[in-house]
Amino acid sequence: MKLVGLLGCSLLTCMSANVAAEPAASHFEKWLTAFNSGDKATIQKFYEEHLGDADAVTARNLRAETCGFHLARIEDESDKSFRALLSQRCFPALFRVSFGVADDGETLEEFKLQPFAMSEARTLAATRDIADRLAGLDSFTGSMIVVRDGKEPWTYTAGTFSKDDERPITLETPMFLASAGKMFTAVGILQLVEKGQVELDASLSRYLSDYPNSEMAKVTIRQLLGHRGGTGEDGILQREDGANRAWVRTIDDLIKLNGSRAPAFPPGSKFDYSNYGFILLGAVIERVSGQSYQNFIQQNVFDPAGMTHASFPDLEHIADIPVGYTTFFESEPEPIAATDVLPWRGTAAGGGVASAIDLLRFFNALRSDILLSSDTLAIATEASETGWYGLGFVTQGGKHPLWGHGGFGYGMNVAAQRFPEDEVTFICVATRDMACDRMIYAWSDRLFGAVE
């Protein structure tokens, strides 16, 4: 659909032909005014009153990414529903907005604001436009790679190591990975499975015979990989966990901290994302291999994949790792350095470092049977009944299936996904809260088109 002929319609002109379309048209006008204002409080007020979304984070992010919208054309309207085409202010692109009005006359139902699909070239141009805008707002510092099989990669970098260190971030700059490191743990466990040293349906007690809690020891390796063990959190990742971070150094320390706890529910009965479950997988790797978790992953994942910048530095060896800046998810008015809330060292639940190039090499090694057989990878990346997690990998089916993993923490964010049927890989590593999550959605929504 072309933009020509759609951009000159004013809100008043488009609506004057049918003023009887209240209240839907009126709600649209109020929404567009609030959204285009760019004012946090104004957007939050509208979304809380009419959509039950008090924070309106997604809406506020989209406003920053698009600069707002012009009304291009009303497609359909009635007293109870509204659908229109919008043109983006910052970049030549079309969105569609649609919603219904509930019987109370105030609540908006089935509210959708979706971009039309773009060509690959225009998608990448739009992605760069958004990244530039976020970088200008200090909301993106990091690197991205998008590569279609057999094609030259598209790349993007922005920012410096810190506000006091002007070294530029490059595609080879290692940054903290947060939970994206769970993929490495999964690969390590599955390598041991392929060697016959670990069984997926064996209980934890087979490998950790001295585990403190006998009920937790019944959880299986498969349940741990799929976050179905009821194992809970690890106690060192939240801002308020400083007392634990002060002494925890190793996986054994983490078991001392958490080992008396029983499962929160019968293992296997439901899904509950768990960092501690992956700590236990790291303990299995250590017991079975006789190596530290970090050394095992270095020798069996990083080295064979050619991940030359990937490692697990402790806090005394992070001078060459960019500083992350965080608002602690808007609890601080301005971003501050996140160094004080870092654990001592990355663990089996995440927290090592790698560059964007390293992550691309990791994905290439997985696809080339270097790290795992194709059969094992297929098992790991098959979606479970949760609909979004396999065995150590985030998975998604549907029209554009994917596998990979994200990661977010204070001042760190990763989006690393393979779209096998589309033959494209997206990599993003950043040092600002949720920066890569914003970028992968901006890219994928425009490439695949929420509206096609």
- pLDDT-derived band of residue 7, with 50, 70 and 90 as boundaries? very low
Q: What is the DSSP letter of 449?
A: I
Alpha-helical (H) ranges within 298-434 are 303-305, 356-367, 374-380
pLDDT at 421 over 90: yes
Per-residue pLDDT, 22: 54
**pLDDT category, 449, cuts 50, 70, 90?**
confident
Q: What is the mean pLDDT of residues 176-197?
A: 98
Kindly report, residue by residue over 226-268, the tens digit of the pLDDT. Answer: 999 999 999 999 999 999 999 999 999 999 999 999 999 999 9
Residue 286 vs residues 110, 181, 189: alpha-carbon distances, Å: 49, 16, 10
Q: Which CATH architecture has domain 11-115?
A: Roll (3.10)
Query: How many alpha carbons lie under 13 Å from residue 312 in its C-beta half-sphere?
Result: 24
Please give the pLDDT value at position 155. Answer: 98
Q: What is the pLDDT of residue 383?
A: 78
User: Is the pLDDT reported for residue 13 higher than 80?
Assistant: no
Q: 3-state class of 145 per DSSP?
A: strand
Quote the percentage of the chain above a pLDDT of 70: 94
Residue 19, pLDDT above cutoff 50: no
Q: Which pLDDT belongs to residue 23?
A: 85
429 - beta bridge partners?
143, 414
Binned at pLDDT 50, 70 and 90, residue 62 comes out as very high
Would you list the domain boundaries of the chain?
11-115, 175-449
How many CB atoms within 10 Å of residue 2? 6
pLDDT-derived band at 8 (thresholds 50, 70, 90) equals: very low
Closest CA to 158 of 143, 174, 173, 138: 143
Residue 18: band (very low, low, confident or very high) from pLDDT cuts 50, 70, 90:
very low
What are the residues whose beta carbons fall under 8 Å from the beta carbon of 246, sequence distance 6 or more?
none
- What pTM did the predictor assign? 0.93
Q: Which pLDDT tens digit goes with each residue over 102-140?
A: 999 999 999 999 999 999 999 999 999 999 999 999 999
- Record: fold of 175-449: Beta-lactamase (3.40.710)
Q: What is the pLDDT of residue 2?
A: 35
Helix count (H) and strand count (E) of the chain? 15, 16
